[in-house]
Chains A and B, each alone.
Chain A
Amino acid sequence: MVQKLDTLVETASQTAGPYVHIGLMPTYAGNPGYYDEEIGVSPIEDSCDGEIIEITGSVYDGTGWAMRDALIESWQPDAKGVFPGQEGADPKVSGHCRFAADAETGEFTLRTVKPGKVKGRGGVESAPHISLWVVARGINIGLQTRIYFEDEDNSSDPLLARIEQRPRVDTLIAKKTGEGQYRFDIRLQGEGETVFLDI
């Protein structure tokens, strides 16, 4: 026998299911006005510092079908790379957004401010990115990934550098489609499978 550890075990995840929108996005679920103020409606106020951008995409399952029921949350710093709650953060950036695939087209849009570079532990600098967390029916534990940007210098980002199969780096990089417009598709499985994270 040995001494007992006094740590606890994390609660097991379960799928968010088909009706996740009821709880997290009541207006989308057809129940507007349930709460006075919903969570994560927008990650910014329009008068925040920096470039306002729109990222459009779809979440595809392993058959290539654009899922109609995916729900995504995003988290990011402001244009200077400061996270909300940290000293000097732009008060007009909440950094958090909830958005869902359109029930008809399967397309989502995230309207936000382009994030800045972030200094991590040991002074290592990350290229600008937005963290995502994807849930839906059939996803048993939320999938973490990141959006990087085609028009930024991603060459020394510590996470991208860890991806051994270099063509897969592209799955994390939003393509510029116009001024302030980007395309970012998420593929859960199969050809072009997005790099998902365990961080």
Chain B
Amino acid sequence: MSNFITTDKGPLIPRNREVHPVAYDPGYKTSVSRSPNLPLLSMESSPSEETGPTFGHGKLGALDNNLVLNWTKGAAPAVGERILMHGRVLDENARPVPNTLIEIWQANAGGRYRHKKDTYLAPLDPNFGGCGRTLTDENGYYQFLTVRPGAYPWPNRGNDWRPMHIHVSVYGHSFGQRLITQMYFEGDPLIDHCPIAATIKNRAQLDALVAPLDLAHSRPLDYLAYKFDIVLRGRRQSMFENKLEGM
């Protein structure tokens, strides 16, 4: 047996909580009663965090990553500005994360979700459902065709609006990498007024959630592209990993 432990065997790199949003933020009112008061219990990862569910292509349908068409099963396209959302999933060691499930959900072009609890006065689009999913390829690459979601008002302070955003859920290869985030759009003036975006105190980390317009990957007379790369936790790589402590 080799002494060398690959990046897929070592413990997960501990999460740097400073690059994440704070749990408690009075500007985002719901977080006030939903944030733990007591410190989290920190430990080195174990098999429970280092393993995780895997999903095969068999579960996915042909239109699952095409939100323009998937609600009507291809019968009629959704209303709105057509966009390609694409990018790569990498880990903290800058290695691509292949074959991992990405799921997205979003409001329609008018800012309305197809959810029984969304009562915003903007109408539903009969041709738009608002969710999609795909697996990254062997280079960690993924893409979705969708429409640009509308900004929408939400009950928080007197006049709060969410910037245009797409919710993104990623698995990685282990349960400890599980992440949900949101993609924003370059140039949206509402980002700087949003209490949810503002839960991230590190400006560079918020900027990293803002997808740039990517004309090189846009398709003339069809769609604009936005690039959104996602970084998941990595694993420690060391050839000393399996030696006893102190040796």
Contact = CB atoms under 8 A, between A and B. Distances in A.
Contact of A9 (B22, B46, B92): B92
Interface stretch (B26-34, B77-85, B212-220): B26-34
Nearest to B22: A140
Interface residues of B, number: 86
A143 B116 CA distance: 25
Interface string B1-31: 0000000000110111101111101001011
Interface in B88-147: 90-94, 101, 103-105, 113-118, 129-131, 133
B92 A10 contact: yes
Contact of A19 (B34, B43, B118): B118
Interface in A18-47: 18-24, 26, 29-31, 34-37, 39-40
A29 B113 CA distance: 10
B34 A189 contact: yes
Given A23-B105, A198-B42, A12 B34 contact: no
Contact of B202 (A12, A22, A103, A120): A12
Nearest to B104: A23
A198 B38 CA distance: 12
Contacts of B114: 22, 29-31
Contacts of B238: none
Contacts of A30: 114-116
Given A140-B25, A198-B40, A29 B115 contact: yes
Nearest to B154: A18
Given A188-B33, A193-B36, A13 B51 contact: no
A105 interface: no
A141 B20 contact: yes
Nearest to B178: A133
Given A84-B53, A140-B23, A188-B34, A159 B41 contact: yes
B46 A199 contact: yes
Interface of B is mostly: loop
A126 interface: yes
A190 interface: yes
Nearest to A129: B48
Interface string A129-142: 10101011111111
A162 interface: yes
B61 interface: yes
A65 to B, nearest CB: 8
Determine which residue in A17, A65, A199 has the highest number of CB atoms from chain B within 10 A of its CB, and name it.
A199
B200 A198 contact: no
A173 interface: no
B175 A131 contact: yes
Contacts of B240: none
A85 B202 contact: no
B45 A199 contact: yes
A189 B33 contact: yes
A75 B53 CA distance: 8
Contacts of A77: 47
Given A10-B15, A10-B232, A13-B179, A21 B115 contact: yes
Contacts of B54: 84-85
Contacts of A15: 21, 28, 31, 180, 196, 199
Contact of B51 (A16, A85, A137): A85
Given A95-B53, A142-B180, 15 more contacts: A7-B94, A8-B234, A14-B199, A19-B113, A34-B71, A62-B37, A84-B53, A136-B34, A137-B34, A138-B30, A138-B31, A138-B33, A140-B23, A141-B20, A196-B36
Interface of A: 6-24, 26, 29-31, 34-37, 39-40, 61-63, 65, 67, 69, 73, 75-77, 83-86, 94-96, 103, 118-122, 126, 129, 131, 133, 135-144, 146, 158-159, 162-163, 188-190, 193-199
Interface of B: 11-12, 14-17, 19-23, 25, 28, 30-38, 40-49, 51-55, 59, 61, 64, 70-71, 90-94, 101, 103-105, 113-118, 129-131, 133, 167, 169, 175-176, 178-182, 196-197, 199-200, 202, 204-206, 208-209, 230-234, 244
